[in-house]
Amino acid sequence: MRSRSFAVALSLVLLRQAASPSRAHAAPAGTEPSAGDLATARSALKEGLVLRERGDLVGALGRLTTAHDLVATPVTLFELGKTHLLMGHVLQAHELFIKIGRLPPALEESQRSTTAREEASRLAADLEPRIPTLRIRLAKLPPEATAVVHVDEEPVTMTGEVTPRAVEPGKHVILARAGDGPEVRVTLELAEGETKDIELAPQWIPPKVPVAPPPGGQIVFLRQTNPLVFLGFTAASVSLTLTGVASVLAVNAAGRAHDRCGSDYCPQRIRDSDITEMRTWIAVSAIAGAATLAFVTVAVLSISRPVNEKVTAGVRPYVGVGSAGVLGSF
């Protein structure tokens, strides 16, 4: 019952400050929170406090973030920062508490907002020594080299020989790349208040310089049919013809052997000549047929893989006797 009354009180504070026309930290003229924003913010604030009391910090963080985004007051900022602190986000909580001090006080600010400001200032001072720090150093690179550094996928602007970077407690991934060189990855973990030095030594490979088009022209790429299409179908046609010829010759040899052999006995000389010839042409026909199938498969697959040819296209003006215009090249 007490927590519910506390949530209702906070909601009333939120509504009072958001509706005050003299609120210095309100949005610019024309962008004041609408009635829908105020109602949604009140509901989100109450739900966030209830979820936090139940131990659902992730759900509370989402609802309190919604309340703050809709109507920013010292109370919503303080409750959001407090939730981050409970989740171990020391850096994020510190920045939110600092931000409360930058909010100009409203003309009719409530006592609860004043208390939130005082408590936020105290917590910010207590949290500052608990923030971990990375000290990033890049190994010496050539004078013309440039490097890109990321900490947890956030870009870091390197300043001087050593660049300090405030981070949250826990595990962090640091990436560095110099030009087109391979990526260097380092994973480490920092405790609250800890400072660690890290040196990155990415290999410098100069980036590829794009080819500039000649004056008056532009490099374009034409999609052309893969030569394997024509080669495959041509070879398949030859193999198919050979298959047909070999089949006919095999049939002829079989016919001759049938005519020369009796119904019960076939002389050895016929078996050595006509039957052997028949078997030979059957083997040739089978091999040629398999080759035909293989060549057709190559041709069909090559249709979906056209070749890109680089050409230069452009126009240039010309002036002639009694005429003027442009000439195109492709």
pLDDT digits over 2-18, tens only? 444 444 444 444 444 44
What's 92's domain CATH number? 1.25.40
Q: What is the mean pLDDT of residues 172-183?
A: 92
Tell me, what's the pLDDT at 160?
A: 81
Do 86 and 7 lie in a common domain? yes
Do 102 and 154 lie in a common domain? no
Phi, psi of 319 (to 5 degrees): -130, 120
Nearest to 18 by CA among 80, 82, 110, 114: 110
Residue 93 domain-assigned? yes
pTM: 0.54
Residue 238 domain-assigned? yes
User: How many residues are listed for the chain in this entry?
Assistant: 330
Residue 50 domain-assigned? yes
Do 81 and 121 lie in a common domain? yes
Do 242 and 287 lie in a common domain? yes
Widest distance between CA atoms in the chain: 124
Phi, psi of 201 (to 5 degrees): -130, 70
What's the pLDDT band for 268 if we cut at 50, 70, 90? low
Q: Does pLDDT of 322 surpass 60?
A: no
Q: Does pLDDT of 240 surpass 90?
A: no
- Tokens 């759900």 label which residue? 59
CB within 8 Å of 98: residues ≥ 6 apart: 120, 124
* 216 φ/ψ sector (left φ>0, alpha ψ -120 to 50, else beta): left
Q: What is the mean pLDDT of residues 283-307?
A: 77
Q: Under a CB-based contact definition with an 8 Å cutoff, are residues 64 and 83 in contact?
A: yes
Residue-wise over 206-227: b if at least 16 C-beta within 10 A, else e? eeeeeeeeeeeeeeeeeeeebe
Do 31 and 114 lie in a common domain? yes
What's the pLDDT band for 110 if we cut at 50, 70, 90? confident
Q: State which of 109, 130, 151 marks the end of a domain.
A: 130
Residue-wise over 38-63: b if at least 16 C-beta within 10 A, else e? bebbbebbbbbbbbbeeeeeeebbeb
Residue 62 domain-assigned? yes
Tell me, what's the pLDDT at 34?
A: 85
What's 142's domain CATH number? 2.60.40.1120
Q: Under a CB-based contact definition with an 8 Å cutoff, are residues 211 and 274 in contact?
A: no
Lowest-pLDDT range, 20-24, 51-55, 82-86, 234-238?
20-24
| Cα torsion angle, 103, 107, 110, 111, sign | positive
Do 147 and 183 lie in a common domain? yes
Do 178 and 201 lie in a common domain? yes
Q: What is the mean pLDDT of residues 275-288?
A: 80
Do 126 and 142 lie in a common domain? no
Tell me, what's the pLDDT at 312?
A: 57
Lowest-pLDDT range, 178-182, 261-265, 310-314?
310-314
Do 64 and 122 lie in a common domain? yes
Residue 322 domain-assigned? no
Residue 28 domain-assigned? yes
Q: Which residue range(s) make up the domain with 289?
A: 226-305
Higher-confidence position of 328 and 100: 100
Higher-confidence position of 268 and 150: 150
Do 117 and 50 lie in a common domain? yes
Number of domains the chain contains? 3
Q: State which of 97, 113, 130 marks the end of a domain.
A: 130
Residue 92 domain-assigned? yes
Residue 211 domain-assigned? no
Do 117 and 199 lie in a common domain? no
Q: State which of 115, 130, 145 marks the end of a domain.
A: 130
What integer best gives the mean pLDDT of the chain?
79
Do 22 and 120 lie in a common domain? yes
Tell me, what's the pLDDT at 310?
A: 59
Q: Does pLDDT of 325 surpass 80?
A: no
d(CA 229, CA 78): 70
